[in-house]
A = this chain, B = another copy of it.
Amino acid sequence: MFNIPKDHPRYHSLIARHKLEEGLASGITTPTGMIAHGRGEAFDYLLGEQTHDFSVRACRAAAAEILLAKKTVISINGNTAVLCPEEMIALANASGALLEVNLFHDSKARREKIGEHFHARGASILGIHPNACIEGLTSNRANVDSKGIFDADLVLVSLEDGDRTEALVRSGKKVIAIDLNPLSRTPQRADISIIDNVLRALPEIERQFDLCKSHDIACLAQITALFDNKTVLRDAEAAIRSPKV
C-alpha cells in the first residue's frame, strides 16, 4: 500500500500520516484535521505510544455501557474515516453499534465520499442525509440522523471538538470519548474518556466487549458504577507529565 518498510521504527506513525495525506487529496480530511493529528502525535509520544491502565479501565467501562445502552452510535469524522475505518466497522459489527458520519467542516460531497469509503469496506453508515438537529450547537455538527445520533442514548466520539461533546451531554446522552489530550474539553466533559490512540483504543474496546458480553445486567452496572473518570484524567495527565520509563 505504502512504500514504508514494516520494521521502520516509526512505521505506524508514518502509515497514519500517509493515510491522512491521501484523505486530504481525496477530500475526506481537511488541513485543520492534519494539524489536530499532529497534536495527537505529540501527546501519544509523551504517553510512550502505548495503552496505559487508565485506557484499559475506560475501555472496560465503555464496553459495559455499550451492553447496557439501547442504541449506541459510533461517530465518524474526517480523520477517523481514513485512520481506522476497519477498526470502527469491526467494533460496530461485534457490538451492534451503528456508524454515523458527523463533520465540523461539513458538506454533502464530504459526507458522500466518507459513505463510499465505508461502503467499499462492506459497511453502511448513517448521517449522509442528516434530518434532525442536536440543540445548542451552532456548528454543522448539530445536523444528525434521526435514526442515529439523534435517537441514541450512547455516542462514541473520537478526536472530537469540545462544543459538540458538551451539546451531546446536555441533550441527555452518555458520551464515550477517545482523545489523546486529557487536558482538552472533550475528555473533561465526556462520561467515559479513553486517553489513547484511536488505533489502539477501538480494538481494546472490542476485547473488553468480548470479556463483558456474558455478564448479567447487575454485573455490568457494577462495572460502570465503579468507574471513575476523574481518576482516569488525573492518571493520564500524570503519565504525560512524568518522564518515560
| Interface residues, chain A, with chain B CB atoms under 8 Å away | 17, 20-21, 24, 31-32, 34-43, 45-46, 181, 183, 237, 240-243
B20 and A31: CB pair below 8 A? yes
CB closest chain-B residue, reference A32:
B17
| Listed A/B pairs (16) with beta-carbon separation below 8 Å | A17-B32, A20-B31, A21-B32, A24-B31, A34-B35, A35-B35, A36-B38, A37-B38, A38-B38, A38-B42, A39-B41, A39-B45, A42-B43, A46-B240, A237-B243, A241-B243
CB-CB under 8 A from A40, the residues of chain B are: 38, 42
The 7 lowest CB-CB distance pairs between A and B, nearest first, are: A38-B38, A42-B42, A34-B34, A35-B38, A39-B42, A38-B39, A21-B31
Question: Copies per complex?
Answer: 2
- Chain A interface, DSSP helix/strand/loop, else mixed: helix
CB distance from A230 to the nearest CB of B (A): 16
CB distance from A115 to the nearest CB of B (A): 23
CB distance from A44 to the nearest CB of B (A): 10
* A242 interface neighbour in B21, B37, B241, Cβ under 8 Å: B241
* A42 interface neighbour in B21, B181, B237, Cβ under 8 Å: B181
CB distance from A182 to the nearest CB of B (A): 12
CB distance from A104 to the nearest CB of B (A): 13
A181 to B41, CA, bound (A): 12
CB distance from A2 to the nearest CB of B (A): 13
* A17 interface neighbour in B35, B46, B183, B237, Cβ under 8 Å: B35
